[in-house]
């Protein structure tokens, strides 16, 4: 019996050490108020996006929930208004898998909202299928949709500077690659995508998030608009909902033990949106509320510039 107790105690100690040394992220503590500020959070009907929107609403900001699913987003807006006591939380339709929808959102926003102080590119997907424009879902939603949205709103951000663009990337950007000929031909998506293909496409899109932020910072230098990419941590959210059932069954027990909850996963996003004194770090990458080094490909300015030019063509900006 004593041997069993020692085994249980050892397993518990191992779990605690692993959780706090590897998985548990930092907590952002700030009393910053945002009254009079307007913030867009994409994909904010659930997960870390919803928790991020709630935090910002509690600080007094006008928060736009930019989401595809109307029913879920309106329910989330109601929850956030109720919990925060802030009635300036509204839903606006945005489907990042449709460049037409992105343009319609930007047009509506620019006509109806007098200012934009922070844009948080939070939404992402992993899974098979194509966007309305024929791109793979990960490329189209995680990168191209946000790329177009940011560019269409840049003038408003510049009018309200100091302002910020925060893009949620992932540690998996280190495994991403940039196959520009394939992207140009839209062959990044095929009808019989495997789990491995979807995983690689997701990694690529997260590398693009990092490179996009880097080039955006270069272009906006001196304008008063700063931008940051980040890794929110390993989070137990609805991101895995598009995985196959067997993969979900494999991942979920581990996720319950080790992964951050949405509140823990939102900390670095809020840090990048609000932390004072990081303006000189525009274009850089953060995790656990601290500056981190990105993979070698994520530091390649020539690659970032090439991705920007291709993204302009693919989204119809050039």
Query: Which active-site residues does the annotation give?
Result: 202
Note if the bond before 162 is cis, omega within 30 degrees: yes
Using CA atoms, how far apart are residues 140 and 102, in angstroms rounded to an integer? 11
Burial of 297 from C-beta contacts in 10 A (0-12 / 13-18 / 19+): middle
Using CA atoms, how far apart are residues 236 and 233, in angstroms rounded to an integer? 10
Residue 267 near residue 24 (C-beta atoms within 8 A): no
Phi and psi angles of residue 83, each rounded to the nearest 5 degrees, phi first: -75, -35
List residues bridging with 132 in a β-sheet.
Answer: none
List residues bridging with 287 in a β-sheet.
Answer: 231, 290
Q: Return the residue matching tokens 């191209």.
A: 144
Burial of 292 from C-beta contacts in 10 A (0-12 / 13-18 / 19+): middle
Distance of CA 213 to the CA centre of its chain: 12
Element (H, E) at 251: helix 245-258
* Plot region of 186 (φ>0 → left; ψ -120 to 50 → alpha; else → beta): left
Rg (CA), the chain: 20
């Amino acid at each position: 019996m004593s041997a069993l107790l020692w085994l249980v105690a050892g397993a518990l100690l191992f779990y605690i050490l692993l959780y706090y040394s590897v998985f548990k992220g930092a907590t952002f503590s700030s009393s910053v108020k945002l009254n009079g500020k307007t913030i867009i959070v994409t994909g904010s009907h659930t997960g870390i996006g919803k928790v991020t929107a709630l935090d910002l609403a509690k600080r007094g900001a006008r928060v736009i929930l930019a989401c595809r699913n109307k029913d879920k987003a309106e329910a989330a807006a109601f929850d956030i208004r109720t919990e925060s006591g802030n009635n300036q939380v509204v839903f606006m339709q945005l489907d990042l898998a449709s460049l037409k929808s992105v343009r319609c959102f930007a047009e509506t926003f620019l006509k109806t909202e007098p200012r934009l102080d922070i844009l948080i590119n939070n939404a992402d997907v992993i899974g098979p299928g194509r966007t309305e424009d024929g791109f793979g879902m990960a490329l189209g939603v995680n990168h191209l949709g946000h790329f177009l949205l940011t560019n269409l709103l840049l003038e408003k951000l510049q009018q309200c500077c100091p302002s910020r663009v925060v893009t949620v990337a992932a540690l998996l950007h280190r495994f991403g690659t940039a196959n520009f000929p394939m992207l140009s031909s839209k062959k990044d998506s095929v009808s019989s995508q495997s789990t491995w293909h979807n995983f690689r496409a997701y990694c690529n899109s997260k590398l693009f998030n990092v490179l996009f932020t880097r080039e955006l910072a270069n272009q906006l230098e001196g304008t008063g608009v700063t931008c940051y990419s980040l890794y929110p941590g390993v989070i137990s959210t609805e991101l895995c909902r598009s995985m196959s059932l067997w993969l979900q069954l494999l991942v979920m027990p581990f996720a319950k033990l080790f992964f951050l909850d949405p509140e823990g996963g939102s900390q670095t996003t809020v840090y990048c949106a609000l932390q004072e004194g990081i303006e000189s770090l525009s274009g850089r990458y953060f995790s656990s509320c601290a500056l981190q080094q990105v993979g070698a490909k994520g530091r390649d300015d020539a690659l970032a510039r090439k991705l920007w030019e291709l993204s302009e063509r693919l989204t119809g900006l050039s």
